[in-house]
C-alpha cells in the first residue's frame, strides 16, 4: 500500500471521516531504516506528526491547526477557560474544572488538541474520557505534551 494512502486511512480512522482531505499533498515521509515503517511526516520543513508503534499519531500543534478546518476533527478537541489558558500555553496540565467544552471523541490515551478561542494552544494525552471530564470537577484531564511556549520562536495566537 502506498504510504500516502496509508496515512489518509489512519487519519480518517483516528479523527473522523473526511479529516484526511486536509493532509497536504506535498509531504515528506521519513521511514525507519530497520523496519521500513513510516516514522515522521513533515511539510515544508515543519513536523506534522509522528506515527507511534501502536498505530496512533503524535500530532503537532501546526497539524492540529490544519485539521481544525474539519468539523469531525473538532470532536477530538477540548476547549478551556481563560483562567487556565496561560498555564496550558506554558506546558502545564489541564484540569477538569477548567474544561469549558469537550468533544465526544476524546478517549483515554488519545492525542487531544487543546483549544482556546478556537485556536490550538497545546496538544496532550487524554487522561480521562469525555464523559469523565464532563462529570468531574477535580483532577487532571489532559497531560500536555506540546504547547506554544515550549517552542523556541514567536508565539502566535
Exposed / middle / buried, residue 63 (Cβ in 10 Å: 0-12, 13-18, 19+): buried
Single pTM value for the model: 0.87
Residue 57 · residue 93 · CB < 8 Å? no
Residue 39 three-state SS = strand
Instruction: Give the span between the Cα atoms of 44 and 106, in whole angstroms.
Output: 29
> According to the model, what pLDDT value does residue 152 have?
54
Ordered domains of the chain (ranges, CATH):
3-67 (3.10.450.90), 77-147 (2.30.130.10)
| Residue 113 predicted with pLDDT over 90 | yes
> According to the model, what pLDDT value does residue 54 have?
86
| Confidence tier at 154 by pLDDT (50, 70, 90) | very low
Amino acid at each position: 500500500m502506498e504510504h500516502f494512502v496509508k496515512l489518509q486511512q489512519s487519519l480518517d480512522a483516528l479523527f473522523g471521516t473526511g479529516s484526511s482531505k486536509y493532509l497536504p499533498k506535498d509531504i515528506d515521509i521519513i521511514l525507519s531504516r530497520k523496519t521500513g515503517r513510516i516514522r515522521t511526516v513533515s511539510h515544508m520543513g515543519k513536523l506534522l506528526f509522528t506515527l507511534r508503534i501502536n498505530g496512533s499519531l503524535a500530532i503537532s500543534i501546526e497539524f492540529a491547526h490544519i485539521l481544525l478546518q474539519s468539523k469531525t476533527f473538532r470532536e477530538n478537541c477540548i476547549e478551556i477557560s481563560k483562567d487556565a489558558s496561560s498555564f496550558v500555553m506554558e506546558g502545564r496540565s489541564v484540569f477538569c474544572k477548567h474544561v469549558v467544552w469537550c468533544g465526544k471523541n476524546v478517549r483515554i490515551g488519545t492525542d487531544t488538541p487543546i483549544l482556546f478561542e478556537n485556536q490550538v494552544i497545546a496538544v496532550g494525552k487524554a487522561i480521562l474520557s469525555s464523559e469523565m471530564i464532563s462529570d468531574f470537577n477535580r483532577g487532571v484531564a489532559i497531560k500536555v505534551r506540546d504547547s506554544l511556549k515550549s517552542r523556541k520562536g514567536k508565539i502566535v495566537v
